A and B are shown apart, each in its own frame.
Chain A
Amino acid sequence: MSGISPALFWVTLSLLTYMAARAFYARIRFALFHPILVTMALIIALLRIGGIDYDEYMSGGRVITFFLGPSVVALGLPLYLRLQELKRSAPAMLTSVLFASAVGIVSVVIPALMAGAPQMVVRSLAPKSVTTPIAIVVSESIGGDASLTAAVVVVTGILGAVIGPLVLRLVGVVHPVSFGLAMGAAAHGIGTARALEEGELQGAAAGLGICICGVMTAVLTPPIVGLLLG
């Protein structure tokens, strides 16, 4: 590819693949074909076949992920627009996410241990519900592998975005703030993207879910993992 910027090539390819995956998903509406999942699979397959390594893809990938930072900041707008409604709910949101964060850590560590995962993997899984920058810092502080954590965080996000609305309906969650809060707490930015599809209030609550769950997980993970793994 002499003369062609690899970054330009990979950004364009990612965009086109994602547009196609989204159009396909709009027709199929089958949760397993989530656009991120399909795009990931196609790009990984292409890189494998072409013998191209991840770092080369990331010359373009970095251009895309650069916009994650300003996008998280952008969640401040729906948060502000819905501030009055959310203020009243603050104690309930803080309490429920405090418990959810603790349950989230324990319920990933114990099954992973019982299923025989190595210690390093278990430690990398512990902060899986929270946004990547927090998850990586927490993972490193408890002896996990940062890049494995980053991968598991994305998988968790897709899973949460796909099964979240179904699980929440099954257990009778109808309140828009509870819906958004749960999506943000369990599936960070990807869950928030799904919550925004339901409405601005759901999206704003999801943004808070990321924030509250992120803080609680950062505080709770080291002592809980210390207790369970020694």
Chain B
Amino acid sequence: MLGGLAVLLLFLLIGEAVAALGVGLPGSVIGMLLLTAALALGIVRVEWVRRSCDVLLDNLAFLFVPPGVGVMLHFDLIGRSWPAIAVAVVVSTVAVLVVSGVGSQWLFRHGGRLMASVERKQ
């Protein structure tokens, strides 16, 4: 458990260092990709990190409580423009869900056929 946490923190640290070079991605996302690569290359073993990952990912939602409480800092601003904010956030969240969900599913089902027909035409 402790060893797993150490591995995760080490990859976060490396990710932050790479991010500081100006990659445009946050350190944690770079760390995630590096951990995947390290597992695939056998540098890190699954059993080293499994328990720590499970504990963190099972409780991921809780970690968003403090930034959520930060909404209180913007009650004035949100109070004045809440209808605009609410409409925009709802419309856009549904749009992203539908385009990414339906779009990817359509491509999974028809993508192969699409590629084949493109190749036939060439």
B32 adjacent to A79 (CB under 8 Å): yes
Q: B60-90 interface mask toward A, CB cutoff 8 Å, 1 = contact, 0 = none?
A: 1111111111111110011001011101111
Does A107 contact B61, Cβ atoms closer than 8 Å?
Answer: no
Instruction: Give the CA-CA distance A187 to B102 in the complex, in Å.
Output: 16
A111:B87 contact, CB within 8 angstroms: yes
Q: Give the distance to chain B from A70, nearest Cβ to Cβ, in Å.
A: 4
From A44, A111, A160, A203, contact of B84 by CB (8 A): A111
Within A54-93, the residues touching B (CB, 8 Å) are: 54, 57-58, 60-62, 64-65, 67-81, 83, 89, 91-93
How many chain B residues touch A (CB < 8 A): the figure is 71
Beta-carbon contact of A99 and B103 below 8 Å: yes
Chain B residues, Cβ within 8 Å of A95: 103-104, 107
Pairwise interchain contact B108-A40, C-beta atoms closer than 8 A: no
A: number of interface residues (CB 8 Å): 114
Smallest beta-carbon distance A75→chain B, Å: 5
> Is B17 located at the chain interface by the 8 A CB criterion?
no
The answer to whether A189 and B95 have CB atoms under 8 Å apart is no
B100 touches A73 (CB 8 A): no
Q: What residue of chain B has the Cβ atom nearest to residue A129's Cβ? A: B96
SS class, residues of chain A in contact with chain B: helix
A29 sits at the interface (CB 8 A): no
Q: Mark A88-112, 1 if CB is under 8 A from B, else 0.
A: 0101110111011101100111011
Nearest-Cβ distance from residue A50 to partner chain B, whole angstroms: 12
CB nearest to A205 among chain B residues: B104
Contact status of A148 and B8, CB under 8 A, knowing A112-B87, A160-B93, A178-B101: no
Specify which of B33, B84, B88 is in contact with A211 (CB 8 Å cutoff): B33
Q: A72-B29, A74-B56 are in contact. Are A173 and B64 (CB under 8 A)?
A: no
| Contacts between the two chains (Cβ within 8 Å), count | 327
Interface residues of B in 49-63 (CB under 8 A from A): 49-50, 52-53, 56-58, 60-63
B72 and A131 within 8 A (CB): no
What residues of chain A lie closer than 8 Å to B49, measured between beta carbons?
74, 77
Q: Which of A93, A151, A215 contacts B104 (CB 8 A)?
A: A93
- Given A73-B28, A154-B68, A79-B36 contact (CB < 8 Å): yes
Q: Which 3 A-B pairs have the closest CB atoms?
A: A76-B35, A61-B66, A96-B103
Interface positions of B (Cβ within 8 A of A): 5, 8-9, 11-12, 15, 24-29, 31-36, 39-40, 46, 49-50, 52-53, 56-58, 60-74, 77-78, 81, 83-85, 87-105, 107-108, 111
Extra pairs beyond A73-B35, A152-B89, A190-B60 (15, CB < 8 Å): A14-B62, A36-B64, A44-B71, A61-B69, A77-B50, A96-B107, A107-B88, A108-B92, A125-B89, A137-B26, A154-B71, A155-B68, A155-B71, A163-B97, A181-B101
Interface residues, chain A, with chain B CB atoms under 8 Å away = 14-15, 18, 35-37, 39-40, 43-44, 47-48, 54, 57-58, 60-62, 64-65, 67-81, 83, 89, 91-93, 95-97, 99-101, 103-104, 107-109, 111-112, 115-118, 121, 125, 128-129, 131-134, 137, 147-148, 150-161, 163-164, 167-168, 171-175, 177-179, 181-183, 185-187, 189-190, 192-194, 196, 203, 207, 209-211, 213-215, 218-219
